[in-house]
């Protein structure tokens, strides 16, 4: 996250928080959140609307600070580095910790230029040859299983793709930056069943290379796709465990009530 290099992992955790509290003005959205997100797993953030899932997700790349009137206390460590240290570059942090939003947000430019948008912002103009750029585009689109569908349409405006293809493209846009962590905020909420299935299949392949954290309201999706789940309620962590244990052997009554659909 420092401008030069991303540090090597010294622990099994990609991200950690200790006594994290976050306020929007006078409203406390997160309360004493202490979690460890394991490297190379797909971790789900689950809980009822307004429980703090998206707020917590946005802490890991400090995007909450864009909204103003935000106060954060406690510690957040990403790749063994406190992201509030004075020498942390926000640009480098967000390069290392990529984010995909609820609704696909491709830029109204070509598919080709969408994929290269981030890497161009982080490299000196003219430093990449056409061959290198072509290679980055093909590699990213292959990784998200989109290459075969669009390889003959790379100059097509990205906003003309289907929603599912647009979401895959938004993920592909992150990959040339070589992120270590990918955050996803309800990435299937705008998609139909077929599109959801495609993105879930992609999630399964991404976990082999990246630490992925996904916010989802879809309990079936959380059960199908995640390795671990963190259940939140009113800004607090109620339970963090393997997904199978969260769903079939919850340790806290609030978790069981939520999983059984008694609220939320």
pLDDT in tens, 168-189: 999 999 999 999 999 999 999 9
Task: Say how far apart CA 3 and CA 95 lie, in whole Å.
Answer: 10
Average confidence (pLDDT) over 76-103: 93
**In the prediction, which pLDDT does 208 show?**
78
State the Cα–Cα distance between residues 146 and 254, nearest whole angstrom: 40
- For a pLDDT cut of 70, what percent of the chain falls above it? 95
CATH class of 13-259: alpha beta
Residues facing residue 231 across a β-bridge: 46, 239
How far apart are alpha carbons 230 and 142 in whole angstroms? Answer: 31
pLDDT at position 11, please? 58
For residue 5, the model assigns a pLDDT of 36
pLDDT of residue 127: 83
Intra-chain end-to-end CA distance of the chain, in Å: 37
Task: Say whether pLDDT at 232 is over 70.
Answer: yes
12 versus 60: which is more confidently predicted? 60
Cα separation, 109 vs 4, in Å, equals 30
Q: 40 burial class (0-12, 13-18, 19+ CB within 10 angstroms)?
A: middle
Of residues 204 and 243, which shows the higher confidence score? Answer: 243
pLDDT tens string 117-134: 988 888 878 788 999 999
> For residue 264, what pLDDT is reported?
61
pLDDT, residue 150, reads: 97
The confidence band for 68, taking pLDDT boundaries of 50, 70 and 90, is confident
Say if strands 70-78 and 13-24 run parallel, antiparallel, or are unpaired.
Answer: antiparallel
pTM of the model: 0.91
Confidence at 1, pLDDT banded by 50, 70, 90: very low
pLDDT at 16 over 90: yes
Reply yes or no on whether the pLDDT at 3 is more than 50: no
Q: In angstroms, rounded to a whole number, what is the distance separating the alpha carbons of residues 19 and 33? A: 5
The residue among 39, 32, 191, 9 whose CA lies nearest residue 100 is 191
Q: Give the mean pLDDT of 202-206.
A: 91
């Amino acid at each position: 996250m420092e401008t030069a290099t991303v540090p090597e992992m010294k622990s099994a955790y990609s991200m950690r928080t200790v006594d994290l509290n976050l306020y929007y003005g006078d409203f406390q959205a997160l309360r004493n959140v202490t979690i460890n997100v394991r490297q190379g797993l797909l971790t789900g953030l689950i809980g009822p609307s307004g429980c703090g899932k998206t707020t917590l997700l946005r802490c890991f790349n400090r995007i909450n600070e864009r909204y103003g009137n935000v106060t954060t206390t406690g510690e957040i460590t990403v790749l063994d580095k406190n992201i509030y240290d004075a020498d942390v570059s926000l640009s480098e942090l967000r390069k290392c910790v990529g984010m995909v939003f609820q609704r696909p947000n491709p830029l109204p430019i070509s598919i080709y230029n969408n994929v290269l948008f981030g890497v161009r912002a982080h490299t000196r103009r003219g430093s990449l040859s056409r061959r290198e750029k072509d290679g980055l585009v093909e590699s990213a689109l292959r990784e998200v299983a989109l290459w075969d569908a669009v390889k003959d349409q790379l100059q097509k405006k990205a906003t003309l793709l289907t929603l599912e293809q647009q979401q895959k493209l938004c993920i592909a846009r992150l990959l040339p930056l070589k992120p270590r962590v990918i955050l996803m905020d309800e990435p299937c909420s705008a998609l139909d069943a077929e599109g959801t299935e495609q993105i879930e299949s992609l999630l399964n392949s991404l976990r082999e290379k990246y630490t992925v954290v996904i916010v989802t309201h879809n309990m079936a999706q959380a059960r199908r796709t995640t390795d671990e789940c963190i259940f939140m309620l009113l800004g607090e962590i109620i339970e963090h465990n393997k997904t199978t244990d969260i769903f079939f052997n919850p340790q806290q009554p609030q978790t069981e009530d939520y999983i059984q659909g008694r609220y939320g």
